[in-house]
Amino acid sequence: MATLSDTPLQDDASSAVLRAQGVSLGFSGTTILQGVDLEVQPREFVAVVGASGVGKSTLLRALAGLIAPRRGEVEIPAGNSPDTRAWSMVFQAPRLFPWRRVRANVELGLEGLSLSRAQRRERALEPLALVGLDDYAERWPHTLSGGQQQRVGIARALAVRPRVLFMDEPFSALDAITRRRLQNELVDLRRRSDAAIVFVTHDIEEAVLLADRVLVLGGGKDDTPAGMRDVIDVALPKEERREHPGFAECVQRIEGLIGTSAANDAP
């Protein structure tokens, strides 16, 4: 495992906000991914990359507990605060409830927490302001653009003040310009949120741009399930990474790790 990080992380296991050990995933008899170990520290940004079909999104759902892993253990230590949730998720499609106004969508995760109606409202407006959509609070979702809807999806996830924020290819359905804008916004947002982020993407540049560490999945072939190729520490400054000379190098290194399967995808 490469360790060249410019932001030293505390490798204190007791402080981890997510611990996964020996996680294997599969559908009806076939294992598609096996042996994933991951420990995520507070405020850390971990990207998960791999060729399409390797099981990235399934892994994310298993880490979140939405599906049960075939083997292995996942633990997200519960917080003791009654007005937050341990984790939340931003989905690939924004998946806002079209029958709720923007603010009510953001309030979804707050329902059932010990918050008054007024507090809920306040807690919803806060992340909406963070993504620049506080003026849209009373709009219906279908009146928003795709990029705005995904911003609401991010606000909805931030509203519960999660310690782990799962993001499942959140920008892949957006056009290139919007995608880049949201990537920059996410870099910005991290400074104002305490959440650790586990971010699935098939876009290696995106992973290197955003993450502290990149978990590379790959190696699956016919009967052998895919697994962890490596975990790369992204040793680049947080600002203006794209322009940094080490950026392309890091991207190439990960491309090399994903290797044959990615090469096979090329025409």
> In the complex, which residues of this chain contact another protein (CB under 8 A)?
64, 66, 85, 88-89, 91, 93, 95, 97-101, 108-109, 111-113, 140-142, 156, 160
Q: How far is the CB of 113 from another protein (least distance, A)?
A: 8
Smallest distance from another protein to CB 151, Å: 16
Residue 126 CB, nearest approach to another protein (Å)? 16
Structure tokens at 22: 């020996």
Minimum distance from CB of 142 to another protein (Å)?
4
Q: Pick the closer one to another protein by CB: 98 or 267.
A: 98
Q: Which residues contact 116 (CB under 8 A, 6 or more apart)?
A: none
Nearer to another protein, 85 or 241 (CB): 85
Q: Position 1: which residue type?
A: M
**Looking at beta carbons only, is 141 or 147 nearer to another protein?**
141
Strands laid side by side in the 18-27 sheet: 71-75, 18-27, 30-40, 226-233, 213-218, 45-49, 196-200, 164-168, 87-90
Task: Output the smallest distance, CB 61 to another protein, in A.
Answer: 8
C-alpha distances (whole Å) from 1 to each of 36, 39, 133, 158, 231 are 14, 14, 40, 31, 6
**CA–CA distance, 38 with 22 (Å, rounded to integer):** 9
Of 86 and 231, CB closest to another protein: 86
Helical spans, DSSP H, in the chain: 56-64, 102-107, 117-130, 146-159, 176-190, 204-210, 245-258, 260-265
**Which is nearer to another protein, 158 or 208 (by Cβ)?**
158
CA atoms in the 13 A half-sphere facing the CB of 162: 24
In the bound state with another protein, the residue whose beta carbon lies nearer, of 21 and 92, is 92
**Is residue 246 classed exposed, middle or buried when 0-12, 13-18 and 19+ CB atoms within 10 A define those classes?**
middle
Pairing status of strand 213-218 against strand 196-200: unpaired
CB of 194 to another protein, least distance (A): 19
